[in-house]
Structure formats: C-alpha cells, structure tokens
Amino acid sequence: MAIEVRNVSKSFGTTPVLNDVSVEVLPGSLTALLGPSGGGKSTLLRIIAGLEYPDAGTVIISGRDATSVAPQRRNVGFVFQHYAAFKHMTVFDNVAFGLQIRRRGKGEIRKRVTELLELVHLEQLAGRYPAQLSGGQRQRMALARALAVEPEVLLLDEPFGALDAQVRKELRSWLRRLHDEVHVTTVFVTHDQEEAIEVADTIVVLADGQVEQAGSPHDLYEHPANSFVMSFLGPVTQIDGRLVRPHDIEVVNEPSPGSTPATVRRITSLGFEVRLELAIADNDAWVQVTRGTAATLNVKTGDTVYIRVHPEAKTLAAA
Amino acid sequence: MPEPTSTVAAPVVAPSQRTTEPAPITPGAAPTSRPRRSGTRYVLRLSALIYLTFLLVIPVGLILWRTFEDGFGPYWTAMTSPSALHALRVTVIVALWSVALNTVFGVGAAVLLVRHRFPGRRLFNALIDLPMAVSPVVVGLALILIYGRFAPAGSLLETVGIRVIFSLPGMVQATVFITLPLVVRAVAPVLEEMGVEQEQAARTLGAGPWQTFRRITLPGIRWALGYGIVLCLARALGEYGAVAVVSGRLVDQTQTMTLFVEERFQNFDQPAAFAAATTLALIAIISLLLTKLLRPKDSD
C-alpha cells in the first residue's frame, strides 16, 4: 500500500470531524476523496500530509509509520485549493523551492525545473510572478512545485475548486493524462461527483466523518452500499419507497404486469435525452428516456403512462 | 478569494479599477451640489491649512530659521561640541538597541499572536498596547521602583556590577517599553492577511520551521517590518519623558539629544539648543520620508 490510514479520529474542539476512518490507497493509483462539504475529506488529506495531527489512529506512507513524522520529512507533495503560491518568487523559483531546500546543484535544479515547466506548459512564463498568472496557470505551477521533489504521494485539496467551469474541465482531463505519464500515487479531494468519476480510478466516499464506501467509480455507481452513496454519485428518483436511477425505468403506453400508472406533469427536452416529471398517486418522481423512446411514446402533459423499474436495475430502500 | 496582488502586477491592475470607479456619479445631481460643496471645501481647506501653519509650519520654520540665521558655521560649531556629539552618540546607541530588541520581540510577538492560539492570548494582545496608554514619565518611575539602587532588583544587579538606573541599560529599557507596540502592530495584520498556506506549502516541500520563516514568512512581511522599524526608530530618537526620569540627565554621561536640547535651552545656550533640535527634526523628516516610501508597497 502506498498510503494506509488506520482508525483515524479527529475533532476540532468539541466538533468531531473524522470518526474511526480507515482508507487504503494502492501504489500508482489516482484516488478521489469524495463527499459533501464538512464531511472531513480535507481534514483526512491534511492528516496524511502531516498538516494536522490525528487524535487517534495511524498513518502509514510506503510502509513506514508516519503518524508523528513532521510534514517536511514525509516526502509528500501537497497542492492547495487556493494555490499557496510563493508571491515573492518567480514561477521558476516557486518550482525550484523544494530542490533548493534539498541543496541540489544549480545545474540539476535548472534542468529539473525546466522539465517540469514544460510538463505543465509554463516554460514561457518562468520569469513571471504568481500575481501575473491566471488561476489555472497558478494551479499548474503549484502542481509542478509539488512534483519537483519527486514525492512518494501527491495530495491535492480541491485542486480545481477555485477555477471557473471551463478551466476546471480542461485541467481535469489534463490531470488524468498527467497521472498516466508520471504515475505518482495521487489522492485528491473533491465534492464534485462528476469530477471524481471522470478522473479517479478509485473513489472513497466520506460523509459525516465516516467512510460510506470505497471502490471503483463503476462499482460505486452500479452497486452503491447505501442510499447516501447512491444519491451522491448520480441522479436518483423515488418509486414505491425505493431509490432508483431515472434511466432504469421503463415507460410504456399500455398497462402490463407489475407496472404502475403515472400522470405526466412536465416534459423537458435535454438534447439527447428527455426528462418526464411524473405523479404516481400523490408522489412525485421523474424518469429519463432517450429521444427515440419519447417519440415512440408520443405523450403530452396530463397523459397517463405506465412505468416499471427495469428488473436488473439497482434499487435501494429510501432512507 | 484572498488574492493580494504582488508589487509587480499592482500598477497594471490598479489604474483600470480606478478609471471605472468614478463612473457611477449621477449626472443629474452633480451640477446643483457642486458649487455648494466646493464652498465648504474651501473653508475646510483653509482652516486645515491655518491650523497646520500655526501648529507645525511656523514653529518648525522658526527653529530652522533661528538655527541657520547666522549661516551654517554656528550650527556646525554647536553640533561638533563634545557635549553635543556625546548626546548624539548616546541617542544613537539607545535607539539602535531599542530597534534591535523591538524588531526581534515584535516579529516574535506578531507570529505568536497571529499563528498560535494559547490561553491568555487576548490578555497578551491587550498588554502590547499598554505603552500607548501609559505616560512615559510613569514608565520611568516604574523602572526606578524596580531597578533603583534601593529597590530589590536594582540592588541585586548592583552587587554583580550592573547599573540600570542612571545608566544606558535603564534608558534602553525605557525606550524599548515606549516603542513596544510599533513593530508588532505593523507586522501582525500583514501576517494575518498572508495566511498560513504558503508556510504549509513550504513545509510539505521539505522546509523546516526556521527555513520556512526565513524564506517564506520574512519576505512576506518585509515591507511591514521595514515600516515598523522606521516608526520605532523615529519614536526612539525623539523619546523624552521616560528617558528623562531614568537617565538622571547626567551631562556628558546619560544625556540624549532631546535632553541636551532641553538642558541647553534652560542654560540660555540657544544656538546649541536650536542646532540639536534641527538635527532631531531632520532625522524625523528623513524617517517620515522613509515610511512614505515603504507604505504604498506595504498596503498593496
């Protein structure tokens, strides 16, 4: 294991933030800590980095107990949401910082920093100061700075959280490609399930200071352990007191065994897909069908349709 | 998002913001309100100017005029007299010690107040402002009560050959006390605004606490620290009350420039008093210009 977190608990004052959390991170993996704000994911990441100290439990990095090791001796790279750029240093000096601390030779530093700046596409901006860069450029600089010291693990705390949607999407796929090139064990914190599913190969869902479920994005989506994970990882609707994905519901015009009548309240076209808002008895629900299916159904607002949950679909009792 | 711009980019950003700011003035209201407002404005300006003229310009101008009314020669003679040179030397020694001690204490206290939470922190914070509230004369008397020859601490130090009162250590102590808040109060807000993330980033990159302080924290507060040091220096050079009490005003021994001015003036040696006063004023003006130079960068 690259990182093993065992039974870690942490409170700030009287507020518990992490409660007996255990997480394992495979070497070379790209793991997302996913969860709502206040779920404790950032705190867990900071405990792994040594920026916070756990009240109980141990942190093992590359087989060594790092629980009481100072952050500067853990050999982890950390990227902050707000970049934490060294404002009085140029881009070059920011990236070179860790190497200068390690007293590497001038020539070696120049070579390594140049390589890294090429990797993050900032080679033209080496002489600039952070204030002269855009948010996305600052974050790429911070990433190069963290990678410069060849960390055993790279930790990113909501790395794209402060960027606008467009840059966010670009950097997301760029991070995925970068990880395929560099192969450093990476853990990143996010509250965006789409980001986690798109970038990570393993997702750990944290809520209320506890691990709800850990696994591949596919696993978590198809086999959620509980209703929280199911509703956090994708769209859900409620039918007969059970949670079900809206695209796992069959809609037909005529009644059939096991189907339930529903009244169409509203039809919204979302490009390729069509969303039908329904009333089943007194409950609201919604289903998502392809444009083709919608054309075949040919329903209008107020019509009655018959719905049936797909027999192989995953459903969970609503909490 | 707290994103203070660096000194390099500021001129690029600031003017564009400034040009957009005056735009929302309502065009309809301006013509009617402008003449009335400029009327009051003239009165305000004139009173401020008259006030400053009588309070500042005339007195300082008079001192300058009296100093140099017979040319530069008498000034030079007065300032190169052994007593004047000695007073200047004592002033500089006391000021430099005070600045050095307060720089170390000020940065340490600012880091402690901003970066750490500990019991009694609020009390500590309040105590730092105490010298602002206490009269310098009271400070001097308090020091005599503790370190005077017949006080317990004073007599104990006397037996090991250290004399505090009527001597340089006491004068430095008094000046340090008076100038205590200046560096702390200049540095603390900048440290607060800087945040901890840069320091934490340095730690994860392998820097120890001292390296982090020297390479990240110190460069981050350098303008504020410079501003605090200049203020502290100016205040230390001009300190009179506390030093007057603890020094015993011994001519050619514990006499500082401010005490020299007062003593010469009392002894009807006006040329020497004016020359020394002018020298102090010039040093103050230079310090003031230095703070003006440091201030804009600090407030970026």
ipTM of the complex, rounded to two decimals: 0.86
**Contact between B9 and A132 using a beta-carbon 8 Å cutoff:** yes
pLDDT (tens digit per residue) in A306-316? 998 888 888 88
Instruction: Compute the Cα dihedral for B129, B130, B133, B137 and give only its sign.
Output: negative
Cα separation, A147 vs A160, whole angstroms: 17
The C-alpha atoms of residue A170 and residue A158 are separated, in whole angstroms, by 15
Flag whether residue A12 sits within 8 Å of chain B, measured between CB atoms.
no
Together in a domain, B279 and B181? yes
Query: In the listed set B28, B44, B69, which residue is the last one of a domain according to the structure?
Result: B69
Which residues from chain A sit within 8 angstroms of residue B11, using beta carbons?
none
Q: Are residues B65 and B127 in the same domain?
A: no
Q: Does residue A17 carry a pLDDT above 90?
A: yes
Tell me if chain A has a CB within 8 Å of the CB of B297. Answer: no
In a domain, B126, yes or no: yes
DSSP chain A: --EEEEEEEEEETTEEEEEEEEEEE-TT-EEEEE--TTSSHHHHHHHHHTSS--SEEEEEETTEE-TTS-GGGS-EEEE-TT----TTS-HHHHHHHHHHHTT--HHHHHHHHHHHHHHTT-GGGTTS-GGGS-HHHHHHHHHHHHHHT--SEEEEESTTTTS-HHHHHHHHHHHHHHHHHH--EEEEEES-HHHHHHH-SEEEEEETTEEEEEE-HHHHHHS-SSHHHHHHHS--EEETTEEE-GGGEEEESS--TT-EEEEEEEEEEETTEEEEEEEETTEEEEEEEEHHHHHHH---TT-EEEEEE-TT--EEE--
Answer whether A272's CB lies under 8 Å from A290's CB: yes
Q: What is the pLDDT of residue B179?
A: 94
- pLDDT band at residue A110 under the 50/70/90 scheme: very high
Contact A55, A212 (CB under 8 A): no
Residues B51, B90, single domain; the answer is: no
How many CB atoms lie under 10 A from the CB of residue A138? 23
pLDDT score for B34: 53
CATH number at residue B200: 1.10.3720.10
Does A50 contact B206 at a Cβ distance shorter than 8 Å? Answer: no
Which amino acid would we find at residue B168? L
Q: What share of chain B is helix, strand, coil (3-state, %, to 5)?
A: 80, 0, 20
Cβ-Cβ contacts under 8 Å, B197 against chain A: 80, 82, 84
Tell me if B27 is assigned to some domain.
Answer: no
Q: Is residue B15 part of a domain?
A: no
- What is the token pair recorded at B262? 């007062």
What is the mean predicted confidence (pLDDT) over A152-172? 89
Q: What is the pLDDT at residue B295?
A: 63
Q: Cα separation of B167 and B174, whole Å?
A: 11
Q: Are A188 and A156 in contact (CB under 8 A)?
A: yes
Chain A with chain B: Cβ pairs closer than 8 A: 82
State the pairing for strand pair A30-34/A185-190.
parallel
Assigned token pair, B49: 């100017």
Cβ of A28: how many Cβ atoms within 10 Å? Answer: 13
Tell whether B107 and B41 lie within a shared domain: no
- pLDDT tens sequence across B247-292: 988 888 999 999 999 999 999 998 899 999 999 988 888 887 887 7
B133 and B259 fall within a common domain:
yes
Per-residue pLDDT at A272: 86
Give me the sign of the Cα torsion angle A269, A274, A277, A279: positive
Q: Is residue B26 part of a domain?
A: no
The β-bridge partners of A278 are A264, A285
Residues B40 and B146 in one domain: no
B6 and A51 within 8 Å at the Cβ level: the answer is no
Among B7, B8, B203, B205, the strongest candidate for a mutation testing the A interface, having the largest count of A CBs within 10 A, is B205
Of A51, A87, A88, the CB nearest to B200: A51
Instruction: State the residue range of the domain holding B56.
Output: 36-69
B5 within a domain of the structure (yes/no): no
Taking 50 as the pLDDT cut, the residues of chain B under it are: 1-33, 298-300
Chain B residue with minimum CA distance to A47? B204
Whether A149 and B208 lie within 8 Å, measured CB to CB: no
Query: Residue A84 and residue B9: Cβ atoms within 8 Å?
Result: no
The shortest CB-CB distance from B207 to any of A72, A78, A131 is to: A72
CB contact under 8 A, B200 and A84: yes
Which residue is closest to B300 within chain A, CA to CA? A131
Question: Which positions 221-280 of A are in contact with B (Cβ < 8 Å)?
Answer: none
Instruction: Give Cβ neighbours of residue A149 (< 8 Å, ≥ 6 apart).
Output: A75, A77, A98, A99, A102, B205, B206
Neighbouring residues of B197: CB distance < 8 A, sequence distance ≥ 6 = A80, A82, A84
Residue A188 has pLDDT above 80, yes or no: yes
CA–CA distance, A189 with A195 (Å, rounded to integer): 10
B10: helix, coil or strand? helix
Tens digit of each residue's pLDDT (9 = 90 or more) over B166-195: 999 999 999 999 999 999 999 999 999 999
Q: Where residue A161 falls among pLDDT bands split at 50, 70, 90?
A: confident
The whole-number pLDDT of residue A300 equals: 87
Please identify which residue in the block is written with the tokens 């050999």: A75
Given B19, B45, B69, the domain boundary residue is B69
Report the sign of the C-alpha dihedral through residues A189, A190, A194, A199, in that order: negative
Domain for residue B74, yes or no?
A: no
> Do B55 and B128 lie in a common domain?
no
- Where among B46, B69, B92 does a domain terminate? B69
Same domain, B59 and B101: no
**Contact status of A297 with chain B (Cβ, < 8 Å):** no
Lookup: tokens for B26: 């309502």
Q: Are residues B143 and B216 in the same domain?
A: yes
CB contact under 8 A, A78 and B9: no
The answer to whether residue B288 is domain-embedded is yes
B161 and B49, same domain (yes or no): no
B57 and B130: one domain?
A: no
Q: How far is B256 from chain A (nearest CA, A)?
A: 40
- Per-residue pLDDT reduced to its tens digit, A59-77: 999 999 999 999 999 999 9
Is any Cβ of chain A less than 8 angstroms from the Cβ of B202?
Answer: yes
Asked, for residue B55, whether it belongs to a domain, the answer is yes
* Nearest chain B Cα distance for residue A157, angstroms: 12
Beta-bridge mates of residue A210: A207
| Residues B199 and B237 occupy one common structural domain | yes
**Which of B4, B198, B207 minimises the CB distance to A84?**
B198
Q: Which residue of B has its CA nearest to A82?
A: B1
Q: Do A129 and B207 make contact, defined as CB atoms within 8 angstroms? A: no
**Total domain count, chain B:** 2
pLDDT number for residue A82: 92
